[in-house]
Amino acid sequence: MPSKRNHWMYGLSAALLLIEAAIFAAALFPSVTPEYRAYYLDRSTDCYPLPVSGAYRLGDRVSFGAASEGKRVDLARCGWRDPEARGSWSDGNRSMLRFAIAPPPADLVLQLSVQPYLDAETPRQRIEVTANGTPLETFELVEKSPAIHRISVPSDIVGTTGWLDITLNYPDARPLTAAGSGTRYYALFVLDVALMGAVD
């Protein structure tokens, strides 16, 4: 007949096995955000969104050039290279912006002043735009000259959260390799961005 000591040992062993199983399960299926999983675990994106403030006054045009770095970093969550004099290149296959705004009473317009990266092997750049996970529009750039593009943002997408997260996907991003810096993906040079009312 098993002694009380044996019962205690069996119970302790079972508890340890359960703890080890829980640790193993947590390692295989960690409870993390979708962004963390995509960037660190699945490696399905090279754009990990930073917790930027999103501080923004509706209607302001924010330059993405070096002289306006302070305002730029409030909006640029990920997928941007260091700013140049006139603007900033996208970095990778995706870029993200965050605007902290009050729930709008009417639809908004996102305005992007941009230039695409084009060459003989990349005659166009498609830009897929989503807002808070909702697809808005896909537009195409085929000229190297600067252009202003406006995208309608329905007010109900912002809702009551106070956040408007804009994602720009670049299916035609061009991989270029430079000595000492590895491969970089070029798609879009952004001069400035603005978010305004539909009648501004």
Q: 51, 183 in Cβ contact below 8 A?
A: no
Residues in the chain: 200
Q: Would you say residue 180 has pLDDT above 80? A: no
- Of the candidates 103, 90, 83, 98, the residue with the CA atom closest to the CA atom of residue 52: 98
Q: Other CB atoms closer than 10 Å to residue 6's CB: what's the count?
A: 10
Please work out, in degrees rounded to the nearest 5, the angle formed at the alpha carbon of residue 70 by the alpha carbons of 68 and 74.
115
Query: Which parts of the chain are beta strand (E)?
Result: 61-63, 76-78, 88-89, 94-100, 108-116, 125-131, 134-141, 147-153, 163-169, 174-178, 182-186, 188-197
> Whole-number mean pLDDT of the chain?
85
Pairing of strands 88-89, 188-197: antiparallel
Q: What is the pLDDT of residues 64-123, one digit of tens each?
A: 998 876 788 899 999 999 999 999 999 999 999 999 999 888 999 999 999 999 999 999
Report how far residue 94's alpha carbon sits from residue 57's, in angstroms, rounded to the nearest whole number.
25
Rg (CA), the chain: 23
Report how far residue 56's alpha carbon sits from residue 65's, in angstroms, rounded to the nearest whole number.
17
Lowest mean pLDDT among 3-17, 50-64, 137-151: 3-17
Q: Would you say residue 148 has pLDDT above 60? A: yes
Report how far residue 47's alpha carbon sits from residue 169's, in angstroms, rounded to the nearest whole number.
10
Report how far residue 115's alpha carbon sits from residue 170's, in angstroms, rounded to the nearest whole number.
13
Q: Which of the four pLDDT bands, split at 50, 70 and 90, describes residue 159?
A: confident
Question: What are φ and ψ of residue 75, in 5° steps?
Answer: -105, -30
